[in-house]
Structure 1
């Protein structure tokens, strides 16, 4: 997956916005104001940080050693860095983006979840 495909997939999700809150090279996707995906546009190969269930993170890091690693500049418990332009299955990358999005949506207040559902 290249960075354009990644961006298109993230931005198409319900309630998602994109911004550069840290600098002009770090693209952040948020759902209802909460971050679920981060991409350093200058990093090669392209790497994205995605939220992940801690137990699943351990499994993924073991299975995809060197391609899925503890989140760079993030909580190592809750975030993974995923090298999306390497030899990871395309479907797995989409699944990990979906998983990150859903974790954030499930953590939203009931009010924000209702607002999202109404979009």
Structure 2
């Protein structure tokens, strides 16, 4: 009940919704579990983020940026453009074919977005 009351009070006072939700949630945590949860929360958050996929994603993006800087992505796009660039909607087809080639190299869609975003725009 305290959380709901604090939420509406802060909302009616004109506080932005993000701060309102954050402060009401913090009040709910303190009301329900005391301050012991607040001392334990950073450890739980770090344990949840300490996984290999979260570490691999920045490295895939880094691989895309390195390939973009060295010119590999430009060559892949030119090759894909020679294959399907003459078709109607050639840039879209070029993007799809180049992304298929690049996904075979890196294995990550985020690396595709990081690499071909600068090249095709």
> TM-score category by the smaller chain?
under 0.3
Q: Which is helix-richer, 1 or 2? A: 2
Q: Which is strand-richer, 1 or 2? A: 1
Q: State the TM-score, normalizing by the size of structure 2.
A: 0.26
Q: State the TM-score, normalizing by the size of structure 1.
A: 0.26
